[in-house]
Amino acid sequence: MPRVYPIEKVRDIGIIAHIDAGKTTVTERVLFYTGISYKIGDIDKGTTIMDWMEQEKERGITITAAAITCFWTPRGLEHKKENEYRINIIDTPGHIDFTAEVQRSLRVLDGAVVVFDGVAGVESQSETVWHQADKFKVPRICFINKLDRIGASFENSFNSILEKLSSNAVALQIPIGLEVQHKGVIDLLKMKALKFEGDFGQLVKEEEIPKDLIGEAKKWREKMIEKIVAEDEKAMENYLTNKEIPTEELRKVLRKAVLDYKLIPVFCGAALENKGIQPLLDAICYYLPSPKDMPPVKGIDSQTGQEIERKAEDDEKFSALAFKIAADPYVGTLTYFRVYSGGLKAGSYLLNSTTNEKERIGRILRMHAAEREETKEVFTGDIAATVGLKNTKTGHTLCEESSPIILEQIIFPEPVISIRIEPKTKQDQEKMGLSLKKLAEEDPTFKVKGDLETGETIISGMGELHLEIIVDRMKREFKVDGLVGKPQVAYKETIKTESEAEGKYIRQSGGRGQYGHVWLRVKPKQRGEGFEFVDEIKGGAIPKEFIPAIQKGIKEAMDKGVLAGYPVVDLQATLYDGSFHEVDSSENAFKIAGSVAFQEAVKRAKPVLLEPIMRLEVIVPSDFFGDTIGDLSARRGKIEETKDRLNLKVIEAKVPLAKMFGYVTALRSLTEGRGTFTMEFDHYEEVPSNIVQEIIEGRRK
């Protein structure tokens, strides 16, 4: 079966934003105008296509990234197959507890639409998703939404993008009126007013710009043209000699600048009022990259260890990245993958080059949120899913056995909060273990471990809401009721100075004994740099075959720190001396000796406790500003900035996670239910000495 849509006409995009900026509403309008849905879904009624999980419908938030495909012919072009674009969309969550969904989506997308709230402009989590997109070098366009709301300001929102995110933003539209007067948008390229008529804004009318806005539009157009022509010598020459530059030429220059991440076009509208979505769809086709526009994907040849690359072409060798695992009640485990090169037919065998195991691709499915459509073949640039892969996890590479490649894996943040969980009945014990294992396979930021000392199961995640959803899913999808303990902070331990220590393990008990003897040096590393093992053994003081066992002993000792038993992070351990016995030395003896030396060295290196510090944005009515600030200070919060937004106050602060449990209730009672906040992990910081003792004693209890 040949490819239906040429690769140049394929767009793999994500819709990303701060929570409540209107991502899902924008996506629902896109699906309606592209003919995928026949009625517009409503978040408040729980009828959206993209938020299909029960928990999403109840809470009105996106929890899991949903993939869907739609088709669009840019306005002004004839409705022929050759003018149609295929757009694969992933709608991502805005809540920072589900950051893994955003991370993995951005890793496999070529472009992104970033949605902003026209009242609030750039918010704390807008910055987070923006920086995640920067990390993966994703070209993007912006959409300033909700211009129909009271207090909306296109100019303020646009300026907040320039100030906080990128000075490369360029406005391609300005609104006609704001709040209840918001009637449409002005297209600055064509210098036309666009009005959206019909019951659902499906009829786009081009009109002359209202007289009172012509001066304003010319001023914005001038700024726009200056920014665009600065990216191309020929266009700049024409501009300086006052030659008229055709719209098509400006579009071409702008497209190249967007792909090179030199300019970011900004559009506007009000998705809930059905205004501004069709021009946004045109912009996705005009300015965002096709898989062919992206540089060839780089990877490692698993046989030689050399860096190799694959071009985005159908006749290249097949390579794909599995970016999401999901349990489907009807078909079993779904593995979502993005094809980077080559094509794939159902029934083929592939190599999972990450684990070096073979996998059979039985069925290939195109996903439409919760719906599935079977297909026989997929091509470069496609996003699809398959069923029943045995050992493929998030971040694994699938490729042809004859030419193995390992693509760059996705790195996820570590969990910051833990809770104890136990089944309500003995019968549920095994079911709970299986359900937690499945949920952990789906979500790389959710971790499960058993505490050997207490026999308890500890689950860890990115926040209270994250774990609440996990427990809720366990109950609904796997029919397991769990008893949940109080949330606990994921503290860490580290060291402040350099130190050395000796570790000996010598046992003699008739017959062959045990002999392991090592000298270790530990020294601190920068926060977030992790662990490094250095082997400086000279002259065979310890035989090479015992070195990995010593490293293993150190790693095991790192799981339980010397202060309060929390994991030890951010240090370098150097093995520089030791001795061995010809007969009695063994891997086990050296593993124990390494562990003993490490614990002793850490004790001498001024160990300290680290705690997660959260970045907090609190929005409260002005009357409650003083009380809210006082409450945050009592929680050991550091106020970083306060701003005015209409009659509200916005407080940005850094607060220890340990002091933030139950903050929802506290803020509600402080502000008569009118305060809101968003919180995300920022960094780890040393715990003040007066609190360390409390934590250590609490842990011992």
Given this model, what pLDDT does residue 137 score? 86
The confidence score (pLDDT) of residue 127 equals 82
pLDDT in tens, 219-238: 999 999 999 999 989 899 98
The overall average pLDDT reported for the chain is 86
What is the CATH number assigned to the segment(s) 415-489?
A: 3.30.70.870
- Has 565 been labeled as part of a binding site? no
User: What fold characterizes domain 492-604?
Assistant: Ribosomal Protein S5; domain 2 (3.30.230)
pLDDT at 658 exceeding the cut of 60:
yes
Provide the 3-class DSSP secondary structure of residue 250.
helix
Beta carbons of 534 and 481 less than 8 angstroms apart:
no
Mean pLDDT of the 343-369 span? 87
The torsion angles phi and psi of 198, rounded to 5 degrees, stand at 90, 170
At 40 the pLDDT is 65
If you average pLDDT over residues 572-590, what whole number do you get? 91
Residue 596 pLDDT grade (very low, low, confident, very high; cuts 50, 70, 90): very high
242 is in an annotated binding site: no
pLDDT on residue 437: 86
Mean pLDDT (whole number) for 547-560: 93
Quick one: pLDDT at residue 14?
Answer: 86
Residue 110 marked ligand-binding: no
Architecture per CATH, domain 296-405, reads as Beta Barrel (2.40)
The response to whether 19 counts as a known ligand-binding position is yes
Share of the chain above pLDDT 90, in %: 44
Number of other CB atoms surrounding residue 457 within 10 Å:
19
Instruction: Encode pLDDT of 165-194 as tens digits.
Output: 999 999 999 999 999 999 999 999 999 999
Domain 7-214+258-285 grouped into CATH 3.40.50.300: yes
Q: Which pLDDT belongs to residue 66?
A: 67
Q: Is residue 631 annotated as involved in ligand binding?
A: no
pLDDT computed for residue 62 by the predictor: 47
Whether 62 and 23 have beta carbons less than 8 Å apart is answered as yes
Q: Which pLDDT value is given to residue 701?
A: 59
Domain residue spans of the chain: 7-214+258-285, 296-405, 415-489, 492-604, 609-698
Contact predicate 300/313, CB 8 Å:
no
Sheet holding 531-535, edge to edge: 499-507, 514-524, 571-579, 531-535
**Would you say residue 105 has pLDDT above 80?**
no
CA angle (152, 171, 157) in 5-degree steps? 30
Residue 17 is assigned to a ligand binding site:
yes
More confident residue, 217 or 90: 217
Please tell me whether 20 is known to bind a ligand.
yes
pLDDT score at 601: 96
Residue 156, marked binder: no
22 is in an annotated binding site: yes
Is position 148 annotated in a ligand binding site?
yes
Per-residue pLDDT tens digits for 17-56: 887 888 888 888 888 888 877 666 565 555 555 444 555 4
pLDDT attached to residue 55: 54
Neighbours of 666 (CB within 10 A): 15
User: From 3.40.50.2300, 3.30.360.10, 3.40.50.150, 3.30.70.240, which CATH number describes the 609-698 domain?
Assistant: 3.30.70.240
The answer to whether the annotation marks 92 as part of a ligand binding site is yes
**Is 394 known as a binding-site position?**
no
Let me know if the fold of 7-214+258-285 is the same as that of 609-698.
Answer: no
Q: Is the pLDDT of residue 1 over 80?
A: no
Rounded to the nearest 5°, which phi and psi values hold at 519? -120, 130
Return the SS3 of 91.
strand
539: exposed, middle or buried (C-beta count within 10 Å: 0-12, 13-18, 19+)?
A: exposed
Is 274 annotated in a binding site? The answer is no
> Is 146 annotated as belonging to a binding site?
yes
DSSP state of 80: -
**pLDDT tens-digit profile of 57-77?**
554 554 555 678 888 999 887
Residues sharing a CB contact under 8 Å with residue 683, sequence separation 6 or more, in sequence order: 527, 528, 612, 613
Which pLDDT band holds residue 679 (cuts at 50, 70, 90)? confident
pLDDT of res. 52? 42
95 is in an annotated binding site: yes
Query: Percent of the chain, pLDDT > 70?
Result: 91
* pLDDT tens figures, 428-450: 888 888 888 888 887 888 888 87
145 is in an annotated binding site: yes
pLDDT of amino acid 517: 93
The response to whether 94 counts as a known ligand-binding position is: yes
Q: How many helices (H) and strands (E) does the chain have?
A: 16, 38
Q: What is the pTM of this model?
A: 0.77
Is the pLDDT at 205 greater than 70? The verdict is: yes
